């Protein structure tokens, strides 16, 4: 582990805590965690920052997924099938990441996020209805596995920011889940995307394991707290946090692109 001051270590642990909370509620914790690692560790490579971020995030995401699965109406079987496709997709994305320019992807993602924000604002009832209790149709399930799992999983390994948010929105739209159930399902899928990308980074030797282990403790606490708050406060709370995170993601991507 590189030499890190106590103040920097405290900052990174607090960032991990808050990022875990954000990620559990609606996704997008990397919006905070990645910049914090870049600021706190200017002496290490971007690959080590990305690898360490995945090692931290997978712990908090797993804690949130377990908390949700115990109390939310999650179809675990469907989530696992989507998650396996997401794992394969994220591994593929991580392998291709070195050859893709983020300057090309950022404007595209910003347009998509702004469209998402407009959709959520113009449709106040989106994701607030009760989750459907009947079986999910085969077409919707296959669509979720291919597009939500494989597609967003590939994006997570390739680029990353906002993966959890995209998962929540896509699962709500494709499977007609409410936002709380979609957040719960997204956590299970997100564990798989993190695992796939982390496997590649670990193989490449770009993970600061000691630092990641310490930050992961705080990320886990934030993730479990965020999941409990989302469960207790309901879909309207998640919808409000979703809009804040979407606009913050757009601002961050715009800053990275043009600042």
Indicate if the pLDDT at residue 254 is higher than 90: no
Domain ranges (residues) in the chain? 6-258
| Percent of the chain topping pLDDT 70 | 85
Model confidence band, residue 4 (pLDDT cutoffs 50, 70, 90): confident
- Please, which pLDDT band fits residue 40 given cuts at 50, 70 and 90? confident
Tens of pLDDT along 228-244?
A: 888 888 767 877 877 78
Q: What pLDDT was estimated at residue 133?
A: 47
The pLDDT tens digits for 48-76 are: 888 898 999 999 999 988 888 888 777 78
User: What is the structure's pLDDT at 244?
Assistant: 82
What pLDDT is recorded for position 50? 82
pLDDT at 132 over 80: no
Predicted pLDDT of residue 80: 87
Distance separating alpha carbons of residues 15 and 236, to the nearest angstrom:
25
Q: Which residue has the higher pLDDT, 253 or 165?
A: 165
Confidence of residue 209 (pLDDT cuts 50, 70, 90): very high
> 39 Cβ partners below 8 Å, 6+ apart?
none
Task: Evaluate whether 52 touches 208 at the Cβ level (below 8 Å).
Answer: yes
Residue 16 contacts residue 222 (beta carbons within 8 Å): yes
Integer Cα distance of 59 and 20 in angstroms: 9
pLDDT category of residue 213 using cuts at 50, 70 and 90: very high
Task: Concatenate the DSSP letters of all residues of the chain into one string.
Answer: -----HHHHHHHHHHHHHHHHHHHHHS-THHHHHHHHHHH-TTS-HHHHHHHHHHHHHHHHHHHHHHHHHHS---HHHHHHHHHHHHHHHHHHHHHGGGS-HHHHHHHHHHHHHHHHHHHHH-TTTTTSPPP-SPPPHHHHHHIIIIIIIIHHHHHHHT-TTHHHHHHHHHHHHH---HHHHHHHHHHHHHHHHHHHHHHHHHHT---HHHHHHHHHHHHHHHHHHHHHHHHH-HHHHHHHHHHHHHHHHHHHHHHHH-
Average pLDDT taken over every residue of the chain: 81
Q: pTM of the predicted model, to two decimals?
A: 0.76
């Amino acid at each position: 582990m590189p030499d890190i001051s106590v103040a920097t270590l405290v900052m990174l642990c607090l960032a991990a805590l808050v990022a875990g909370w954000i990620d559990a509620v609606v996704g997008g914790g990397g919006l905070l965690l990645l910049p914090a690692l870049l600021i706190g560790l200017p002496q290490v490579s971007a690959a080590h920052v990305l690898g360490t971020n995945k090692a931290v995030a997978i712990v908090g995401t797993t804690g949130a997924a377990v908390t949700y699965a115990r109390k939310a109406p999650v179809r675990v079987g469907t989530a696992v099938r989507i998650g396996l496709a997401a794992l394969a997709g994220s591994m593929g994305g991580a392998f291709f990441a070195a050859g893709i320019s983020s300057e090309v992807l950022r404007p595209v993602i910003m347009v998509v996020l702004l469209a998402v924000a407009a959709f959520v604002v113009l449709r106040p009832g989106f994701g607030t209805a009760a989750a459907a209790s009947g079986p999910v149709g085969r077409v919707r399930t296959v669509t979720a596995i291919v597009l939500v799992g494989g597609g967003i999983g590939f994006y997570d390994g390739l680029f990353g920011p906002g993966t959890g948010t995209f998962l929540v929105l896509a699962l709500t739209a494709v499977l007609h889940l409410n936002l709380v159930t979609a957040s719960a399902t997204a956590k299970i899928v997100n564990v798989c995307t993190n695992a796939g990308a982390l496997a590649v980074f670990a193989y490449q030797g770009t993970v600061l394991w000691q630092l990641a282990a310490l930050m992961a403790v705080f990320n886990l606490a934030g993730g479990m707290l965020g999941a409990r708050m989302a469960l207790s406060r309901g879909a309207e709370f998640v919808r409000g946090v979703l809009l804040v995170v979407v606009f913050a993601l757009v601002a961050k991507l715009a800053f990275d692109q043009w600042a």
